Structure 1
Amino acid sequence: MKGIGDYLQVHSAALSLRSKRNDILASNIANAATPNFKARDINFEDEISRVAGYGTMDGSDARHIRTAVNGRPDQVLYRQPLNPSLDGNTVELNVEQMEFSENVMRYQTSLTFLNNRITGLMSAIRGE
């Protein structure tokens, strides 16, 4: 039987990673005019797989496609700019604002899922 922590772990991990990504994206936006600042980000899908304990896929047959994970776990990556600036800054404000807005929406969605899970648990405990 799973415990309550196991039941809520994925959504809790998603909230934590979304919060971390918000901090990184906010730092990018704040440093949009800083010479030689490099825009950073994390790969959310890789991080949630690692944190939630999904692990990597193993092929059991020679015909299976092998997957490769680049970089270390919990690594902050650098964003490749579409139009690099002359001062070496790789922050593109419109890209960062779009990524930040999308991440905030996904954070709120994760929060709603977590709230629904908790509400469901409370209903089960009360016998409703």
Structure 2
Amino acid sequence: MIGKLDEYLRFNETALSLRSQRQELLASNIANADTPNFKARDIDFSSALQGALARATNTGPLNTTAAAHYPNGQAAADGKTLGDGATPVLYRTVTQGAVDGNTVDMDTERTQFADNALRYEAGITMINQQIRNMLAAIQGGQ
């Protein structure tokens, strides 16, 4: 029964997790807009979501070969992958170069930040609706 509930909520839960991590990347880009040689980073959300969903269906335990390994597949915060250890963080394409080597375009970052925040809120609304539907089914549609 729990497995069915997990499957029912998996897509939105995975999407929200990726959106949250993407929001952190975008906020970091905005915060470092004046940092010399900072390179703006982002993820390819659709391919990251497909990969995360594919990994979520493989529910076998993860093997660790050393005590220093992170449990549950968490990667070190080295800036190369997201917290799931498998989603690559990409550098944003430079639209207008800066003298100091910074590649953050504030217009692009603000737009992406607002878009991602809106989609995150939509995901929250979807999960709330799924939970309401489950409660209605449990309570007999009262």
The bucket for the TM-score relative to the shorter chain is: 0.7 to 0.9
TM-score by length of 1: 0.83
Q: How many residues align?
A: 112
Superposed CA offset, 1:72-128 (max 9, x none): 941100001110101100000110000000000000011111111111001001111
Sequence identity of aligned pairs in percent? 43
Alignment of 1:1-128 (within 5 A): 3-53=4-54, 73-128=86-141
- Where in structure 1 do 4 or more consecutive aligned residues deviate above 3 Å? none
Shift of 1:10: 0.3
Secondary structure of the corresponding residue to residue 88 of structure 2: coil
Instruction: Work out which structure has the larger RCO, using CA pairs closer than 8 Å and 6 or more positions apart in sequence.
Output: 1
One-letter identity of the residue aligned with 1:98: T
TM-score by length of 2: 0.75
C-alpha RMSD of the superposition: 1.7
CA distance in 2, matches of 1:37, 1:102: 23
Runs of 5+ unmatched residues, structure 2: 56-84
